[in-house]
Amino acid sequence: MVNRIEKVVVVGGGSAGWLTAATLAAEFKSGPGGISVTLIESAETKSIGVGEGTWPSMRTTLQKIGISETEFFRECDASFKQGSKFTSWLEGGNESYYHPFSLPEGYQEINLADFWAPHRDKVSFANAVCPQLRVCESYKAPKQISAPDYAGSLNYGYHLDAIKFARLLRKHAVEKLGVTHVIDHVEKIHSAPNGDIASLQGKAHGQINGDLFIDCTGFASLLIGRHYSIPLIGKKDVLFNDRAIAVQVPYADESAPIASATLSTARSAGWIWDIGLPSRRGTGYVFSSKYIDEQQAMDELKAYVGNSAGVPFEELAPRTIDINPGYRQKFWHKNCVAIGLSAGFVEPLEASALVLIELSARMIAEQMPADRQVMDIVAEKFNDKFATRWQQIIGFLKLHYVLSRRNDSQYWLDNRSDESIPSDLAAQLKLWRTRSPWYCDETHVDQMFPSASYQYVLYGMEYPSQPMTARKRSDESDQQRARQIFASNDSMAGKLLTNLPTNRDLTDQVKHQGFGHI
């Protein structure tokens, strides 16, 4: 008899658990012939509450599971994120650059980097090829209140309150999508003869059976780590940061502008994130304990926050989070899949935590094995896919460090040492000295970072790519087309600055009117 997959059990709540449960329940009908979804979370476990930045992919995810953008904004203290701004990464001064979410204009048609290069001393790359930098610098939103849900003039993601987000997902998953919610503490895991998980033993509810178990238990990694002992592939030799101090910073003035990008400011042994929500800022210092102790890091974070909170820093109740950078050797083992922090974690420099949850849940939903006999085949594909994705993320994060010219601490010098740079990244950097990245460099259909992202970081950090010197037959027409796009981009930026509301004004409007209001 073939064991059909009929019941999925998600262990652990928070953003990972509830986003996974909602994604699966939105895909499959429950009841006879369908797949039921049960989520077990312990009242004894508190959510870590980080992960306040998303990629633009979250718009598609929320739409698919049936949450309106208006409801999302109202319930999650959300604001718009249009990319990241990096300050002090290059020289340690006030220099900055942007990694916007929108692609360069005409990106599939022409590689503007080659035509921008001769003018690099006059205009930054992001400013030349995309209007989003100027929109962010003016604290503007990417859309107007009249735009329908999830549509905008520019590409965008979100900043959000992670605790409130999990709460919204839980309510929607249970009330609208039929997810069964069990509040219980898992005391024991029962194994089947083939080594699968047969059931979980709850402290209050007894035995809970399932066909597929998803581990969303965070750093505890109850199933994939403790039960199956799947090791973590450590990456501290590449990404040095192993600790973070996080604080929630109130606005001294409640009408203060809301930043339209995640602010990332480099410091002596790491960097400080600054995320603007309507009611507060989420701020923290990610650092390496090898190069700075916790009190020194606390002092640097305190100096950064300064008087902006309107209250003494000590009243903000800073908390420390330990980071063990790396990812599981396998994410799907037997009938158990790890998603979220149980699968791995690296510093949130490019907000990859939530998108990995989205991608994991989506792949399971799209490739759900019909029965146990084919599950191992799906598991192998899943493991290959996400090992590649983690490697891509780690390489991209490391790129930010190896391009720095900071010499003010051993931390920055060691980050540029050859032995800490992944070999594939070193090879790409060598190649990019002779030509700029472009979409033809993308080796996977669903690449984690498009080649445009590499361009934004490389040229924001003044990487000296040299355009090809060999003359091409298309040189004259390409030069003319590039000039047209540069002019069009400049004109578009002016129109957007005139017509778009500020991030603060639009988030205030949504409370009363909702998107799509004319």
User: Is the separation of the CB atoms in 344 and 239 below 8 Å?
Assistant: no
Specify the residue for token string 């870590």. 48
**Coil vs helix vs strand at 64:** helix
What phi and psi values does residue 174 have, to the nearest 5 degrees? -75, -50
Element at 99 (helix H, strand E): strand 96-100
Q: Does residue 308 contact residue 252 with C-beta atoms inside 8 Å? A: yes
Handedness of CA 208, 213, 214, 217 (dihedral sign): positive
Cβ–Cβ < 8 Å for 497, 135: yes
Half-sphere exposure of 5 (CA within 13 A, CB side): 24
Which residues are paired to 79 by β-bridges?
Answer: 159
Q: Is 365 in contact with 357 (CB distance < 8 Å)?
A: no
* Active site annotation includes 176: no
Q: Is 22 strand, coil or helix?
A: helix
Give Cα 480 distance to the centre of its chain. Answer: 37
The CA angle 351-346-27, to the nearest 5 degrees, is: 60
Phi, psi for 17 (deg, rounded to 5): -65, -50
- Measured CA to CA, the distance from residue 54 to residue 158 in angstroms comes to 5
Separation between Cα atoms, residue 437 and residue 425, nearest integer Å: 13
Structure tokens given for 358: 């989205």
Q: Please tell me which residue in 7, 29, 46, 81 is annotated as part of the active site.
A: 81
Residue partners of 401: CB distance under 8 A and separation at least 6: 412, 415, 416
Query: Which residue numbers are catalytic?
Result: 81
